[in-house]
Structure 1
C-alpha cells in the first residue's frame, strides 16, 4: 500500500510539473514535407517558407510527455512592427481536436514520448510577410512558462494552389510558368521588328525574398493590408520606381549613364534587388520600362502572385486623360511641339498580375495590369494598377485602378487637331488603328511569343471595338469628340517599298493618295522624318517636305520618297527613327556555342561566346555582361 501511494504521488508530481519546450523543428529544409508541399523548395533560404491557406508541420520536443487533458500549448505569431490581434497581425493559434478550414489552428497529429508533431493551418486571407514565432505552455491553473522562440522566422506567401486564395490559378502549367519559372523573355522593338531579350527573374535566389518583403516594409503600409493582393501590387508598383519614395530603380531615358549602369546592360533582376536591399534602400541606377517590368515580375512571383511581363507596341502615353492620343497642328499643318505632350512609344513593357477582383463587378477578375515605370502619378504617387484587362477591353474606364491610362495605351484613337483663326482647335482627322499592336508575352511552357492583343481589345474597327472606344471617351477630358462627324474623301496611304531598311541604308517610302469624291480636290501633303527616342519623345527633324497635289474626281496618284538613315553611333541604342508612322530599331545578335565538355554543378565549364556586329560601322567602348542562374555574380568584360 505504501509503495502504490508513492507511485501515485510521483505521477501527480509529474502532472503538475510545468511543461517546458526544449526545441522546435520547423521541418524547413528544401527536401522536407513543408517546402515540397508548399512549392517553396527552390528558395535559397534557411527559413521556413510556406503558403497561406495550407497546413504545415512542426516537431516540438518537450520536457515531459504532453497530456492533452491537462496541458495547454499555443503558438504565437507576430507580423510587422505593431502586431495587433484585432488586425490579424498578432496571431494566437490554439490546439484543436479537428482542423477546420479558413482559420488559424493546430492539431497534435503524432506523439512519441516527450515529442509531438503538430499540423498547423492558416487562413487563405492571412497577411503575407515575415512572422516572428514562439510557443507558449501553461498549466491547468494558468501558471505559464516563458515562451520558447526558435532562432527562425516563418515566411508566409500568397498561394496560387489554394482555391480560396484570391490569387488562385487553376491551371498547373500556368502556375509553373507564372509563379515558378525563374527565366523568361521580354519583347522589344516595333510591331514589324519584334525582338526578344532573355531575362533572369531569379525570384528564388538567395536574399531575394527578404529584399521583396523589405520593399513592403519601406512602403510604410500597415502589415494588416498585406493579405490583399490588390493592395500589395499597388504598393509594389510604386516601390519599384524611385521618384517619390526612394524605390528600387531610377528611370533614365537621357542616354547618359556614367554614374550608374545603362538600362540595356541589365539581363536580370537579382543583382538589382540585391543591391537595393544590401545598400539599405538606396535606389539603383538605371532602368527603363523592360527593367521595371522584369523586376516587377521577379518580386510578384517571389511573393506568390502569378505574373508575366507584357509588351505593347505603338504604346500611347496619354497626358491629359482625354483617352485619345492628340497631335496639335497650326494653320499650316505644322506640329506645335509645346502642345504635343502625348507620345507614342515604339514599345512599352508592363505586367499582368493574376487575382480576383471582389471590389469590382463580376467578370473583372483574372489578369490585371500593373506598371511600375514612372509615367504619370496615380493619387499623387508614381504607380499604375491594378487595372482589370477585361475592363480595358470593354472601355469600362470608370473602374479602378488607372484603367483610363491603360486603355489609352492600347486602344486610343490618334486625333489630329488644327488651330483655327480664333485660336481654338478642331479635329481634322482621326486615325483609328494607330495604337496598341502585337501585345506580346512569353508563351506558357515554351520560348514562343504569344500575342494577347485580343485580351486587351476587340478586333480593330469591329463594332465591339468602336463601342469600347466611344464608351471610354465619354469619361475623358474631350468627351464630345465622337459627336462630331466629318467626311474625308481624300485618303492617303504610306508603305515601305521593300523590307525594313537598316541604319546607313536608304528608306524608300511609297505614298499613295486617292480622291474618292466626284469633284476636283487640291491639297498639299506635309511630311517629315524625325528622330525619336523609343518612348516617342522628339529628338530632331532630319527631313521635312511639302508636295502640292491636284486630283481629278476618283483619281489616284503615287509618289516615292527616299530618306537616308544616318545617325551617330552614340545615340544608337536609346533612339529610333520615326518616318511618318513607321519606326526602325537595330537588332543585335548574340550567339553562344555549345559548352566545351559536360556541364556539372559546382565545376568550371568553358564556353565560347561569339558576337556579330550587324552594323556597317565599328562599335566602340564595347562591354559584355554575363548573367545566369547559378553564376556567383554578374560579370562584366570590357572589350574596347
Structure 2
C-alpha cells in the first residue's frame, strides 16, 4: 500500500487504520498486526469486454465471494484516480464507501464512473485505477485490491465496396461516430498502405456532438496479394488534452541516420501550453532510405515520438 493511499484517509478514521495495517503487513513490520485466523472472503473487480470508450460511463463489477456458510458484513473504502503511464497518480477523481452484508451467495455490485466525473482528469492513454480496501466485521480480515483500466477511443469501421485488381481503383467506405457530447475540432483522417507512397491526409474539420460521419476513398493497388489499409483519426479531444501545467525536466532523444549513440538533450521546462522548436544537425553515414527517430520524455507525458522517412543521396 503506497503512502498516497494511506494519507488519502482522514487521520484516525477506520479507512486510515485499514491502510496502515495493510502497509505494515506487506512491509517490514509484519509482526505488528498479526494476520486474521479466518480469511474466507475474496474480493474481485472486472469489466465487461474491452471496456468503454472515452465519453462513455465506465461500469465496473465488484464481486464478493464468501467461502463460509455464515453471513459476513464489511465496509469498503474506495477511490478512483487518473494515472500517468508511469503509474504515478495525477488526480483523485472520486471517493466512495460501500457497505455490504452477504451470505454464501456471490453478490455482484455494479459501480458506475460517469463521464462528467472523469473527463477533466484524463491524460494520454486514459489510464484509471480503482482502489478498494475494507475490513470484515466478524473476522477482522483485511481486504485490499487495485484494478487498473483504460478507456478506449472509438473505432474506425472500414468497409470494402469492391474487389481489388492490380492497377484499378478500389473503393472503401470509412465510418466513425463521435462518442463525446461535444464537438470534435480540427479532425484529421490519415490513410496509408495499398501502394500509397505517402500518407494521404484529409483535413476533415469539425464533427458535431455524437454525430456519425462517413468517408469514401479510392486507392489503386500496385501489386497482387494480401494488403493492409491503415486509417487513423487525429483530434485533440480524443487524444491528450493540453496539460494545464508546466512540463518539468523535458528530455529529447534523437537516434538513427548512422548515429552510433543516442543524442540526448536535457531541454528543461516547457511553459503551460507553450510551443517550442529545436534545430539539430545529423551527419548520415550511408545512402539510401533511412529513418530518424526523435522522442520527448517527461514525467507528465508518455513518450512522444516522431519518425520521418529520409532518402539520403550519394551526392
- Give TM-score scaled by structure 1 length: 0.22
Higher helix share: 1
Higher strand share: 2
Question: Of the two, which has the highest radius of gyration?
Answer: 1
- Give TM-score scaled by structure 2 length: 0.40
